[in-house]
Structure 1
């Protein structure tokens, strides 16, 4: 896909310099396009009130409002564009002040294609890094959101292991049941049905071993309407029937 060109505003009082800048930008072969030219900082500020650009190329020495005053006033804009200063004077003090004001680079006239390409290329790389970081942050936020949902679902399951269904849980966390099933498996490594069945059996073993509840009461408490199905599931899981399991646990405790 062809990248849309970055929009550039040129602020330069000398017409021939503006013509040269157009040619220099073209020769860099980078995706930058001059969309407006202004002759001083004040004119540029007025234009920016109703327009946005990705980059500003501004001269330092200009009539009406020079480049330094211009960039200081840019701070008042909601969407402040980055600025590259261009100067015909090797003025260290102006360069230092420009950099303090947030100028991203300072190029000397006549601007060489290589220097312009280097400055713009560096800026493009920075934009790509910011975009990747933003996308990564968004993805992380989505993953954190999913994790919070699954943690809530797990809490609800553990509160009522024998009386939960995927559809009911999905409604409680305001999510499609199919999506919840996918997220649940990604998070726990087990599908919803197997996880709940395993949890119910762990609860069943505890109730059989540690309480005097009848097997039918335990089955009912865990959501099994058929005691025979509960007993066969329990034996398949533990290798013993509920009564044999209870006897073994009682025997071990009496020995201890």
Structure 2
């Protein structure tokens, strides 16, 4: 269950927001409150919030200071700021800190609900982006960024590799298909992608394995075979060399992350 944390030093406002969101959520969300930034930080040390609703002006720790402090968290909540002061400086700093909505008091209930729905949608988008970043190999991203510099031979080689990841593929085989000398092709591939042929193929296979680990419940042995490894043991060794965890642990880490973020 996703959690919404409301932080406001005014009891009437705090409870009013809570009642509005409880009526809207119909039990779909856990609604928590804190009467100060200090109390909110203490709560967040032991719990996670998906969405933070905070007043700007509060004693000790103001709302924007609270948001700035939370920005260093592994999974900071998305933020909706509320304020009785329509000051440009506040709004500008809120935007700089990544606040997704800025509401002025007195708060219209319908506008509050709309803001919460937009903020939660944004949180889901950030979650999807975070999951994609965990799946993508930065070295492959770098190689892909060089795509405009790839000549016809290298583009054709990459296309062939992507279509035959499950099969035994060698540099000489690909060079022969392109009617190139194997040594020349090896140098050409490294020049244009920044990776050796072997390193690219290994990383692309592990990349595909990560996608299968994240998106399916296929056994490790079957995933190994689908990305060109007949031995699950050897596949696990190669996977660990790049990801520092076994395929099984990688899948478990994704599952744990899913539970925490959702």
Structure with max Cα Rg: 1
Whose relative contact order is higher, 1 or 2, with alpha carbons under 8 Å and at least 6 apart?
2
CA contact (8 A) 2:78 2:119 kept: no
Q: Which residue of 1 aligns with 2:240?
A: none
Give CA-to-partner distance per residue, 1:42-80, whole Å, 9 cap, x none. Answer: 221122122111111111111111112222222333332
Gaps of 5+ in 1: 160-172, 185-256
Alignment of 1:47-58 (within 5 A): 47-58=43-54
Q: Which residue of 1 aligns with 2:78?
A: 82
CA contact (8 A) 2:82 2:102 kept: yes
Q: Which residue of 1 aligns with 2:188?
A: none
Give CA-to-partner distance per residue, 1:100-148, whole Å, 9 cap, x none. Answer: 122111111222222122212222333444556677788999xx99856
RMSD (Å) for aligned C-alpha atoms: 3.8
Gaps of 5+ in 2: 138-158, 175-204, 206-219, 229-262
Question: Does 1:117 find its partner at 2:113?
Answer: yes
**C-alpha separation in 2, matches of 1:47 and 1:140:** 33
Give the length in aligned residue pairs.
161
Taking a change above 3 Å as real, the CA distance of residues 9 and 127 of structure 1, as seen in their structure-2 partners, is closer
CA contact (8 A) 2:7 2:55 kept: yes
Question: Does 1:18 find its partner at 2:14?
Answer: yes
SS state at 1:34 partner? strand
SS state at 1:47 partner? helix
**C-alpha separation in 2, matches of 1:32 and 1:26:** 8
**C-alpha separation in 2, matches of 1:177 and 1:71:** 45
Q: Which residue of 2 aligns with 1:43?
A: 39
Give CA-to-partner distance per residue, 1:169-223, whole Å, 9 cap, x none. Answer: xxxx9x858995x889xxxxxxxxxxxxxxxxxxxxxxxxxxxxxxxxxxxxxxx
